[in-house]
Amino acid sequence: MRILKSDCIALVIDIQQKLFPHINLNAELEQNTLKLIKGLKTLNIPIVLTEQYPKGLGKTIASVTEILSDLTVFEKTSFSCIDNAAILKQLQAIGKRNVIICGIETHVCVLQTVIDLLAKNFCPVVIADCVASRKEQDKNTALLRMQSEGAIITSYESVLFELVRTADASEFKQISAIVK
């Protein structure tokens, strides 16, 4: 199945200050996620940003907040973003089928969101190098489950070039510079 720019929205899940330092390979996650977000913004893909119980886990980390400062943050207490009526309503209102997903933790909020997106007839596109957990094994197990449930698992560079489609695209040079 081809992932088309015209049918995509992105969901940035719970990359928050108090949990982030405990995430496995967090510096790599941060750099990959920033490249993904910059690419998505270059391609004008709508983005939804969530925070899990920010009173306890803090706000979104500064580097992500800086490039998404124009967005409303959707606060939630449910692990699945889809259990939050406002987030679900926002995704449905934008009307795109493919949901590009990055965030933490892979085996909790990301996994439950993916399963619920599938149940609502969305197509989750999980960016494997832009999701993480405290333990690598939890991430790997969750990615396997998501894939077996029907989610697409890919990398940030792969999805960005798939969305661009051709070296003739006006955004190609910008995307190439972002992923370098």
Q: Which residues are catalytic?
A: 14, 76, 109
**150, 11 in Cβ contact below 8 A?**
no
Helices 26-42/156-164 angle, 10° precision: 10
What's the DSSP call for residue 82? G
Residues 6+ away with beta carbon under 8 Å from 24: 132, 133, 134, 135, 136, 139
**Which among 75, 70, 126 is positioned nearest to 102, based on CA atoms?**
126
Q: How far is CA 3 from CA 7, 36, 97, 100, 124, in A?
A: 8, 15, 10, 10, 10
ω into residue 105 within 30 of 0, thus cis? yes
Query: What's at 105, amino acid-wise?
Result: E
Burial class (CB in 10 A: 0-12, 13-18, 19+), 151: buried
